């Protein structure tokens, strides 16, 4: 074996002291004691699977002043994320064979972590889904307008599901109904106005549309960033091929308690009420929600520091998601097993990746954390190009060691690898 790591493992739902044996980038053995060419003893620190973020916007290509694959993947690695899946609302949008190939090539030369590329399904390319499927890791459908997004007309939704089910690639849905959004459009001056312009009825309508059009079909469908208690109820008894994600910002913020500059928290779908937030927490704790996803969507400080109606929607979060929720595990807000299911195991299952759990045969994507070492998040220590975080001052537990495919990427807050280590997955 190439490497063995000894410490407290979270394995099969519980803690045990033991060793992971790593060979050729894979977990080769899990035993009480192991010998390898290199041995690392982390003492009483926890050895956990690295996270998978199936929803990021690295703004590459088209918006390099906000983020690119180098800085975005660097942030992911420092946050304990070994694999990211990038959204298609770039410039140009990822909607064709050439745009997918160009984005994959760019990411291969820049990404520190493993990555996948989603293609957007639009009114223009809906007949070419079969040709795009072998090149991408999944598909994204926007049912409502958002940053640089191309909206799919409702009458094309069932055809998109029908064409996609043969590939069994994950279809991710931005579930806000465009006609509903247009009916509620008005000038916005703060987060309450933003909430009124994007009410939960728009999410509820879109979700009913998804369920209706998916009847009799079985493509794997993922509802992104669920945000409302109404949405929770619509999806409570959904078919098994439909999964659901939630973001840290929808779990941790609500319009009733945010008192700072509102543009920083402007996102789509919007931050809602404390009632919605608690409904999402309950759904995550009771396994109605499958995935914790960052929806990392960086904009610069200058772009956010404008009049509310002109500020772009989106917040960064790929680096802070896992550390934030490890701190919440320590506070007993969430069991560790539930967090690892939301952030590691279920994303790997949905994307058919050999990652997400400490099991023999899986990629050796591993983080080491000291649960006794909590620190407050500060933007100056983060790595996203945008240079700010909505979670400033929140307690977090960052990993002390990060391994991807058995290679040590991060130790003592230092990156040890060069850009381009990440590989394309899910194709």
Q: Hey, which residues are catalytic here?
A: 295
Query: 364 vs 204, 227, 282, CA distance in Å?
Result: 40, 33, 32
- 369 by Cβ neighbours in 10 Å (0-12 / 13-18 / 19+) ranks as buried
Residue 278, helix vs strand vs coil: helix
Q: Are 207 and 175 in contact (CB under 8 A)?
A: yes
Q: β-strands 138-142, 401-404: how paired?
A: unpaired
Question: For the chain, percent helix, then strand, then coil, each to nearest 5?
Answer: 30, 25, 45
Sign of CA dihedral 264, 270, 275, 277: negative
For residue 8, report the phi and psi dihedrals to the nearest 5 degrees.
Answer: -90, 110
Q: Following CA atoms 78, 312, 91, 138 in sequence, which dihedral angle do they give, to the nearest 10 degrees?
A: 60
Q: Across the strands, what pairs with 352?
A: none
Q: Are 21 and 29 in contact (CB under 8 A)?
A: yes
- Which helix (H) or strand (E) segment holds residue 244: the answer is strand 242-246
């Amino acid at each position: 074996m190439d490497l063995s790591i000894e410490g407290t493992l979270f394995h099969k739902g519980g803690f045990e002291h033991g060793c992971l044996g790593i060979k050729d980038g894979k977990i080769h053995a899990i035993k009480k004691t192991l010998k390898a060419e290199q041995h690392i003893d982390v003492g009483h620190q926890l050895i956990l699977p690295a996270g998978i973020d199936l929803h990021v916007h690295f703004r590459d290509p088209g918006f390099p002043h906000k983020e690119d694959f180098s800085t975005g993947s660097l942030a992911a690695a420092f946050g304990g994320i070994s694999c990211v899946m990038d959204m298609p609302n770039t410039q140009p949008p990822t909607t064709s064979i050439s745009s997918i190939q160009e984005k994959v090539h760019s990411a291969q030369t820049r990404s520190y972590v493993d990555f996948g590329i989603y293609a957007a399904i639009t009114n223009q390319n809906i007949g070419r889904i079969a040709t795009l499927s072998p090149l991408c890791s999944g598909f994204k459908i926007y049912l409502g307008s958002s940053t640089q997004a191309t909206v799919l007309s409702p009458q094309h939704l069932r055809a998109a599901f029908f064409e996609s089910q043969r590939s069994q690639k994950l279809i991710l849905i931005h579930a806000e109904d465009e006609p509903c959004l247009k009916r509620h459009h008005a000038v916005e001056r703060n987060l309450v106005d933003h909430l009124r312009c994007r009410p939960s009825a728009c999410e509820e309508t879109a979700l009913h549309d998804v369920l209706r059009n998916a009847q009799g079909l079985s493509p794997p469908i993922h509802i992104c960033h669920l945000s409302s208690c109404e949405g929770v109820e619509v999806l409570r008894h959904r078919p098994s091929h439909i999964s659901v994600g939630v973001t840290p910002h929808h779990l941790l913020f609500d319009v009733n308690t945010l008192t700072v500059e509102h543009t920083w928290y402007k996102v789509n779908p919007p931050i809602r009420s404390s009632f919605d937030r608690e409904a999402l927490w309950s759904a995550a704790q009771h396994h109605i929600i499958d995935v914790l996803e960052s929806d990392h969507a960086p904009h610069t400080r200058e772009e956010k520091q404008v009049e509310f109606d002109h500020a772009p929607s989106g917040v960064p979060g790929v680096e802070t998601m896992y550390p934030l929720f490890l701190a919440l595990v320590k506070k007993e807000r969430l069991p560790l097993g539930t967090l690892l299911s939301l952030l590691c195991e279920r994303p790997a299952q949905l994307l058919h990746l050999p990652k997400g759990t400490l099991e023999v045969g899986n990629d050796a994507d591993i983080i080491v954390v000291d649960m006794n070492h909590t620190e407050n998040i500060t933007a100056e220590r983060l790595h996203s190009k945008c240079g700010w975080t909505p979670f400033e001052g929140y307690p977090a537990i960052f990993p002390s060691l990060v391994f991807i495919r058995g290679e040590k990427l991060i130790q003592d807050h230092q990156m040890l690898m060069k850009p381009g280590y990440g590989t394309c997955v899910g194709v």
